[in-house]
Amino acid sequence: MSGNQIVFIVLAAIACIGAAGVVVFGDNPVRSALFLVLNFFVLGFLYFTLGAQLLGISQILVYAGAIMVLFLFVIMMLQQQSAFLRSTESDGRGPIAWLLGATMFMTVGAAVLAPLGGVTGSPILDTFGTPQSIGKVLFTGYAWPFLISSVLLLVGIVGSILLAKRKF
Amino acid sequence: MSYQPIPTIDWWAIAPVSIVMVTGIVALLIEMFRPNRNNNTIVAVSLVGLFLAGLSVVPQFSMPFGSSFGGMVVRDYLGLVLQLLLITVCFVAFLFSEPYLREKRIAFAEFYQLALWASAGGMIMVTTENLLMFFLGLEVLGIALYCLTGMCRQELRSEESAMKYFLLGAFGTAFVLMGIAYLYGPTGSLRIDAVSIAVASDQPHFVLMALFGFGLLLVGLCFKSALVPFHQWTPDVYQGAPTNVTAFMASTSKIAAIGALIRVLAAGAPLVSYWFPIMFWVAILSMVVGNFAALVQKDVKRTLGYSSVANGGYMLVAVLAHVQAPEKVSLASTLFFITGYGVMTMGAFAVVSLAARDGKEGTRFQDLHGLWHRAPFAAGCLILFVASLIGVPPTVGFFGKMFIFNDALAAGLLPLALVLAVTSVVSAYYYLGIIQAVFVQEEGAVKNESGRPQAGLNLAVLLCALAIFGISLGAENVLKFMAPAEDGRQPVAERTVAQR
Amino acid sequence: MTGPFANVWLIVALPLIGFLVQALLGGKVVQTLGPRFGRPAMGALAVLPIAAAFAVGLDLTIKLAQLPPESRTAVVTLFDWITLQSVNVPFELRVDTLSMTMVLIITGIGALIHLYATGYMAEERDYTRFFTYLNLFVAAMLVLVLGNNLVLTFIGWEGVGLCSYLLIGFWYKDVANSKAANKAFIVNRIGDWGFTLGIFGIVVLMAANKDSLGITDARWMSFDVILPYAKDLLAMYPGWATAVAVLLFIGAMGKSAQYPLAIWLPDAMAGPTPVSALIHAATMVTSGIYLLTRMSEWFLASPVAMAIVAGVGALTALIGAATAFGQTDIKKVLAFSTVSQLGYMFIGCGVGAFYAGMFHVLTHAFFKALLFLGSGAVIHAMAHNQDMRNYGNLQRYLPITFATMGIGWAAIAGIPFLFAGFWSKEAILGPAVNQTEAVMLGPLSVGQWAGWVGFLVAAMTACYMTRMMALTFGSGPERWRLLPAHSGHDDHHGHDAHGHDHGHDHHEAHADEHGYFMTDAELEAAHAAEPHEHHHELDAHHKPHEVPVTMWLPLAVLAVFSLGWVGALLYENSAWKLKYWLFPAAKKAAEHAHDGPVATWMLIALSFATSLGGIALGLWLYWRRLPDWEGWDLSKWNPLQKASQRQFGIDEVLGDGSVKAGAAVGSVTWAFDRWVVDGLVNLVGGLGRLFGGVVRKAQSGYVRGYALLMEIGVVAIVGYLLYQIVSAGGAR
């Protein structure tokens, strides 16, 4: 077992625990959110081990940082009404959803991921995920989608203003 | 460090989308000043912007077709026709929106900006062969529509439907993303024809991944096109959204999604034997469920929602006929039908929007009573739109269905053709209910009692009615105009396998 | 667009111009000139184009007659219309003997009825809207008969359907009228479905065989391309001949009101009386016979289809006649009589005597239009009351109407030799019973049986028409003077502000959730809301007046054409003999074989007996009184009469049954969409509840329910893909 594999297994195990923690300890949303932070962090590390530096950085900055802070704010503001969060208990759909989810994972996941088990080497370049290479791509070949995504953010902002507005 | 040469940019290809987007930003800036404390300036600027965007599409019909920006923007008949149609739809929606929004006391200027950007998103979706661009367009369109759906905040129904639309839309988007990931994984390509790359790679598990990715992508597109069994949001959202948003959404979302579906299905040709039965049944289910479920609705907007499901089914029949036998069946009839659908839907919803009075809006059938007296012109045109939706000759709806029927027969899809014929007979029943509701007299109705300025609405309705006449009178020429969409420029046909 | 018939486009264009004038200028003109002058002006502008079209049609017919019989067909292409891959559907009109015959009927009778309507509708607020629709109808009907390809015929077919819909619901404020209009439209859609499939059958057949037949003309949906090849095609595919013929006949059944699709026509009497005369008696309802005659080669190739046509025709004739006995509404009697006479025409077609069917179309158009217009005059004179039980002794007040309607009555009752109806009836029943033209289906000669049924119906027709005339004009008491003032005698009060029937039978008693038909409460409300401004009630002091000249002049003209001289069209050696006029090929065949007499002496004697017997019976029963067993008191009615009045339940079963069935299918599908999937989910949930002991009310409409259905769809799709891959032995 190579060092790479050991690192991967450890990180993957933590990520899985984090993901499970989000739903398993479901009665306390703050705890769930903190588990999600853990999961995001470890995912960021996994990106680093794959050489995707920029992605790893933004994973930690944006998800583990900004978005989770927002989540926590909202949860704490709603904490008084935490009963509301737990009010939807299983009405029989849950098991079916589980069943369907599992079926889908088994069909797609098993059929697709199994053949990849033997893959060890990576065909990508060393500079694949560096900020320089991504920046170059972003401002040359992908300049147009980059612009469009700025409009996407604008849509989000204006849309949330619209929904929050009281009068015109 | 070596620098890549700056590529020459095909400005024309991105001009329509850019103009529409910039118009949205200009509208945003104007809102800051709010001259005269109303939206008239914004409407005027938006209409001018849309007109310019339309102008920038027209000369492209005579330019060489092909892709630029590495396949992210593509210029072909399909894309240009649909872009023009999307611009027109937005234009018509803006014509009748302002009085309606005022009547409902929700005249937010954000409607115009978001609708413009949503249009741009739809335009991106129909002119790209790149999955990333496709996804961005889908999201711009989707997020703008989620917000617009919920813009009527004093109505619980509006907020509820926005929430539903958002949650289910996010669910659908997840499938699209997962599909794209599975396509990207084995091929390293974000091009829409990743399937053929995977097939060409001759590695069984690559094909497997690409196939599942393709399937998930189809799920997302079926959701956006409101095809059974991913249609359940449609009636709820159509009913809950403000009527002008419903009109805009029903047309734009459907046009963009079907346009993208055409490209995706054409790109999936190498695996056609796998997915064809799925889409075959989706088409049948959409036509049957859409038409029959509409029979028992008591709300006009819900009825039109289910009708939209059924119309999605008709369009899918046309697309499948083309995919099945591209050498015999061109995309012309699909484009013809979509164009007709966009016009009919806009017109019908524009008239239905007249049901809103004094900040309240009822859209049950009886709320339309007396419309004939309040707005005779609009009500008269509604007959035309509904006749066209039924498929009474010689309206555009009749020709559209006839062409699709012929295509389906030519492609050997007899069951689809028969289901289409039978279900469209059924549809006459519920459409007639709408007409009947309009003609029943209302107690003590006064002509144009609300005093709402109807000039814009009448203009919008007139445009749609003229378009219906124009398209059906010149069916031959319109079809000829759209026929070059088949000229071997199918996304897959000439494509060589792209480099990784 | 050259040649002697280049003017044919005028025939369609003139009514269309009239339509545009009415639609665009009508309201303005009436507003500017005021109703007193504006309405007659617009009325004149409505009549003129139709009269002009008639003149053009007459001119073309004379030109056509001067040609040798074999070359009496011309196709005038106006412009190229649809050009698809290998199909060419130009906008082309066909000038031949059949189409010109129909054109003359439509424009001639159309002009007369337009003239009549200028008087009848004079007090109507929506005067120009009426003529807008009516002109549009004439244009559409002309497209139907003149169109040289299936697409044009279909467009005309739908166009007349639309106009019929608009005109039945002309007084749209009354919900009952809208519902009658909807019923007509929906029932016709069933027929259209058959017609459409029939057209596609022909198209598929032509398209599939155009290479083997060597059809080079791309216009292979045009009649002049289809008909020459029909014989070869049908010899190759005998099964197709039957299929296509039956489908086309379903279409004809819808338009021409044959049972079981006849149920819309009686309700269609809700429209104004000129509409009933023009559309629902003289022209539109005969387009089914036109279609059969046009496609006669397909029908002649299939004995099965012919037997079905004759059988349905006979059945309809019988049911229509039997139902007419029980009607007290004068227009309903005529409506069922029309249904019955249409059945006659189909008997003619079904036994192979297509020319006889067309001849009956011609004579029936005259005398039935006459009867309808006459009934309109009576209704007009009787303060828009349509109940014959309130009439009596009107011969004293309406002499011209009585005289002209009397001629119409004599024609439909079949008084021998002197009146047109006798000749056309003989033309149908002779070939039917003698089987001179017939294509018979084995030993069971449906056509012959249909002929015998026809004789029975002839007697019945004579009797119920006499009943109608006697109750209206007969020398009994003037029954409206016996009415208690304003107290409905029973629920059959028959009063009506607009001269249309509220359809106070069957349908409105059955509420259904779509609201297509009325509940009793709604009906009451509709009655209460009905504006009564124009007409005074019919009461004891009412004094009927003869109608103005614009209304009786058409009656007189139609009466002239209902006389026996029209029978000359059947005369053996006449150059105008209708059979050879319509089917020149038949003459050639007849040169070799002896062309048997139309009617043998035995049949003529039988005709004498049936028609005079029926009339005598009718006069004896009804001339001097209204019998108690069909009087105002419904409880005294005899059961047979009651059953007849209720249309033997056919309408209830079919109308409400199909509406309910449609609603049921819709509900089921909707329920499936909304509840079954949820139900399945809830069922499993219920099982889960049993085990988990958690009881929870399951609800639907939740996002998670929708999401679950999506998930099911995804899993189904993904699972299907996996199944495909596995069954294909792994990915390629």
Residue B494 in domain = no
Rounded CA separation B340/B330 (Å)? 17
Rounded CA separation C117/C112 (Å)? 9
Interface contact C189, partner B, CB < 8 A: yes
Among residues C600, C578, C476, the alpha carbon closest in space to that of C105 is found at C578
Pick from B275, B432, B441 the residue to mutate for testing the C interface (most C CBs within 10 Å): B432
Q: Which residues are bridge partners to B360 per DSSP?
A: B357
pLDDT given for residue B169 in this prediction: 92
Distances in whole angstroms, Cα of residue B383 to Cα of each of B386, B434, C353: 5, 9, 42
Per-residue 3-state assignment (H helix, E strand, C coil) for C639-703: HHHHHHHCHHHHHHHHHHHHHHHHHHHHHHHHHHHHHHHHHHHHHHHHHHHHHHCCCCCCCCCCH
**Token digits of residue A81:** 């009404």
Intervals of chain C under pLDDT 50: 486-519, 523, 526-535, 592-597, 677, 681, 684-700, 731-732
Find tokens 């389906």 and name the residue. Answer: B408
Amino acid identity of residue C271, one-letter, is G
Q: Which residues are bridge partners to C83 per DSSP?
A: C88
Residue A163 in domain = yes
CB C423 within 8 A of CB C564: yes
Interface contact C717, partner A, CB < 8 A: no
Q: What is the pLDDT of residues A25-42, one digit of tens each?
A: 666 778 888 888 889 999
Rounded CA separation C10/C51 (Å)? 12
Residue B102 in domain = yes
Q: A-chain residues within 8 Å CB-CB of C728?
A: none
Q: B-chain residues within 8 Å CB-CB of A149?
A: 136
Domain of residue B98 covers 13-489
pLDDT given for residue C500 in this prediction: 40
CB A54 within 8 A of CB A129: yes
Rounded CA separation B254/B316 (Å)? 11
Q: Cβ–Cβ of B212/C721 closer than 8 Å?
A: yes
**A136 and A74 co-located in one domain:** no
CB B423 within 8 A of CB B287: yes
pLDDT given for residue B85 in this prediction: 94
Angle between helices B204-224 and B272-295 (to 10 degrees): 20
Angle between helices A93-104 and C677-692 (to 10 degrees): 110
Residue A147 in domain = yes
Task: Let me know if B250 is exposed, middle or buried by CB neighbors in 10 A (0-12, 13-18, 19+).
Answer: buried
Among residues A136, C645, C616, C658, the alpha carbon closest in space to that of B6 is found at A136
Q: Minimal Cα–Cα distance from A166 to chain B, Å?
A: 8
Length of chain A: 168
User: What residue spans of C237-353 are helical by DSSP H?
Assistant: 238-255, 264-267, 273-277, 287-294, 296-300, 303-324, 330-350
pLDDT given for residue C174 in this prediction: 73
Residue B203 in domain = yes
Per the prediction, chain C carries an average pLDDT of 76
pLDDT given for residue B446 in this prediction: 47
Rounded CA separation B288/B427 (Å)? 10
Q: What angle do CA C140, C146, C150 make, to 5 degrees?
A: 85
Q: A-chain residues within 8 Å CB-CB of B109?
A: 168
Q: Cβ–Cβ of C186/B429 closer than 8 Å?
A: yes
Q: Of A54, A83, A112, which residue constitutes the final position of a domain?
A: A83
Residue B4 in domain = no
CB B465 within 8 A of CB B347: yes
Q: Is residue A13 predicted with pLDDT exceeding 70?
A: yes
Residue A125 in domain = no
Q: C-chain residues within 8 Å CB-CB of B409?
A: 200, 204
The continuous run of DSSP H or E covering C235 comes out as helix C223-236
Q: What is the pLDDT of residues A113-165, one digit of tens each?
A: 666 666 655 566 667 778 888 888 888 888 899 999 999 999 999 998 888 87
Among residues C512, C528, C510, the alpha carbon closest in space to that of C520 is found at C510
Q: Cβ–Cβ of B295/C662 closer than 8 Å?
A: yes
Distances in whole angstroms, Cα of residue B311 to Cα of each of B285, B316, B342, C26, C157: 12, 9, 11, 37, 25
Rounded CA separation B138/C149 (Å)? 45
A45 Cα distance to chain centroid = 13
**A2 and A73 co-located in one domain:** yes
Please list, in sequence order, all residues whose beta carbon lies within 8 angstroms of the beta carbon of residue C182, skipping any fewer than 6 positions away: B432, B436, C165, C169, C516
Please list, in sequence order, all residues whose beta carbon lies within 8 angstroms of the beta carbon of residue A154, skipping any fewer than 6 positions away: B25, B117
By Cβ distance, the residue of C688, C715, C725 closest to A92 is: C688
**A13 and A75 co-located in one domain:** yes
Residue B24 in domain = yes
Please list, in sequence order, all residues whose beta carbon lies within 8 angstroms of the beta carbon of residue B305, skipping any fewer than 6 positions away: B234, B235, B236, B237, B238, B239, B250
Residue B5 in domain = no
Residue B2 in domain = no
pLDDT given for residue C489 in this prediction: 40
Among residues B192, B246, B247, the alpha carbon closest in space to that of B214 is found at B192
Residue A61 in domain = yes
Task: Let me know if A156 is exposed, middle or buried by CB neighbors in 10 A (0-12, 13-18, 19+).
Answer: middle
Q: C-chain residues within 8 Å CB-CB of B421?
A: 193, 196-197, 200
Residue of B nearest to C723 (CA): B274
Domain count, chain A: 2
Per the prediction, chain A carries an average pLDDT of 79
The continuous run of DSSP H or E covering C73 comes out as strand C73-84
pLDDT given for residue A156 in this prediction: 92
Domain count, chain B: 1
Residue A112 in domain = no
Q: Of A83, A110, A145, which residue constitutes the final position of a domain?
A: A83
Domain of residue A72 covers 1-83
By Cβ distance, the residue of C169, C193, C514 closest to B425 is: C193
The DSSP-derived string for B318-369 is HHHHHHH-TTT--SHHHHHHHHHHHHHHHHHHHHHGGGEETTEE--BGGGGT
Intervals of chain B under pLDDT 50: 1, 445-448, 485-500
Task: Let me know if C265 is exposed, middle or buried by CB neighbors in 10 A (0-12, 13-18, 19+).
Answer: buried
Q: Of A83, A118, A148, which residue constitutes the final position of a domain?
A: A83
Q: A-chain residues within 8 Å CB-CB of C698?
A: 91-92
Stretch 142-171 of chain C: residues touching chain B, C-beta under 8 Å: 151, 154-155, 158-159, 162, 169
Interface contact C44, partner A, CB < 8 A: no
